[in-house]
Structure 1
Amino acid sequence: MDSIIFDLDGTIWDSCDTVALAWNSVLKQNKHINKEVTKKDVQNVMGLQTPEIGKKLFPELDAYTREQLMTTCGAVENKYMEQYGGKLYEYVEDALKQLSKKYKLYIVSNCQDGYIEAFYKYHQLEKYFLDYENPGRTGLSKAENILLIMKRNQLLNPVYVGDTIGDGNAAKIAEIPFIYAQYGFGEATEFHHVIENFSQLLELFE
């Protein structure tokens, strides 16, 4: 193994409180939308791409209105992330510091452009990662973005760490091992290894 590619939400941090806060600030300004998003709502759509999130949370809206709303929510969310951040899972920074000494680290997340940058800015963890990708920049699926990172960085033997069945499917399509972060938001049934907390990656890759 030469590298580790990470999912972000549900794997490295929990940003649901901040996401809900950001989205509700937008919804309050839209008088035709009488809805408030809860933390549970956000948890239930973590890992999905933005268009899918919009369909799940706002099925009553027409496609154009929904797209405009999600674009606005994403932009406001990025600003909130820069200001308030999210909750890093236990042991994350210490483990990243140790792992980065031995492996090349990357992030591939199903988020909008600017989200990973906001994560870096608030938590100051950019120094541990060599590259990142998301559909907000590429328009590609998670599997395609994993393959893009692999090609761009000439990775020969990476693994992917994530917390959902979608992460597992993406790793399978990219033909790389999947490590299931059981402590995250989702569930997975097929994986090569499972971790119950972030620090177990150190034991796994000793």
Structure 2
Amino acid sequence: MDSIIFDLDGTLWDPRETVLASWNKALKNRGMDVELTTEDLTKTMGLQLHEIAQVLFPDLNEQEQIKLMKECSAVEIPYVADNGGELYPHLEQTLKALSQKYRLFIVSNCQEGYIEAFYHYHKLDHYFSDFENPGRTGLSKGENINLVIKRNQLESPIYVGDTQGDRNAARHAGIPFIFAKYGFGNVDDSDDVIEGLDDLVKKFG
């Protein structure tokens, strides 16, 4: 093993309250009489933006869904950069320990600017060598994992995530999948399980 690729939401942090506040602000700006809840947002974790729109706003046509998600993102990115999210316990200690032995990466199903907002607020970017998302590439998570592997010439990476989509992406990329059990989702199977981020240090540190 030479590297660890992480999912972001539900794996490194819980951004739901911040994202929820920003999206509800965008909906209010649009004049929509809708207020999303934490439960609404949890149902969409791990999905790409167009899939989130289908779940949250099924009554809108595809064009309106895309337009609305762009408006939400325009509010969300600076809001996340200014307010951050809830980091999971032992995150920085874990990243510091692991980065001394492995190269670290993030591949998330988010829009362009979101990972940068996470970096900006929490000042953790120096632990990571690279990142990728469909907002930049238009690719699936599995394809983005492969892109990061190829771009950084990784030989034996693992992927850490918390949803079935993460598991499927790791399988697509042909690399081991570590299930973050504390996150938002469930999976059919995994190569290993962690109950908390510090378990990574115990297993691989």
TM-score range, shorter chain: over 0.9
The runs of 4+ residues in structure 1 deviating greater than 2 Å are none
Instruction: Give the % identical residues.
Output: 56
The answer for the alignment partner of 1:193 in structure 2 is 192
In structure 2, runs of 5+ residues without a counterpart are: none
The answer for the alignment partner of 1:25 in structure 2 is 25
Give the aligned residue type for 1:84.
N
In structure 1, runs of 5+ residues without a counterpart are: none
The answer for the alignment partner of 2:177 in structure 1 is 178
- Correspondences of 1:15-94 after superposition (within 5 Å): 15-31=15-31, 33-94=32-93
The answer for the alignment partner of 1:141 in structure 2 is 140
TM-superposed deviation, 1:4? 0.1
1:8 and 2:8 are equivalent in the alignment: yes
* TM-score, structure 2 normalization: 0.99
The C-alpha deviation readout for 1:48-92, integer Å capped at 9, x for no partner, is: 000000000000111111111101111211111011100000000
Give the aligned residue type for 1:98.
A
Give the aligned residue type for 2:60.
L
Please give the alpha-carbon distance, in whole angstroms, between the structure 2 residues aligned to 1:168 and 1:204. Answer: 19
Please give the alpha-carbon distance, in whole angstroms, between the structure 1 residues aligned to 2:29 and 2:7. Answer: 32
TM-superposed deviation, 1:164? 0.3
The C-alpha deviation readout for 1:74-111, integer Å capped at 9, x for no partner, is: 12111110111000000000000000000000000000
TM-superposed deviation, 1:178? 0.1
Give the aligned residue type for 2:15.
S
Aligned length: 205
SS in 2 for 1:180: strand
TM-superposed deviation, 1:190? 1.0
TM-superposed deviation, 1:34? 2.1
The C-alpha deviation readout for 1:180-205, integer Å capped at 9, x for no partner, is: 00000011121000000000000110
TM-superposed deviation, 1:119? 0.2
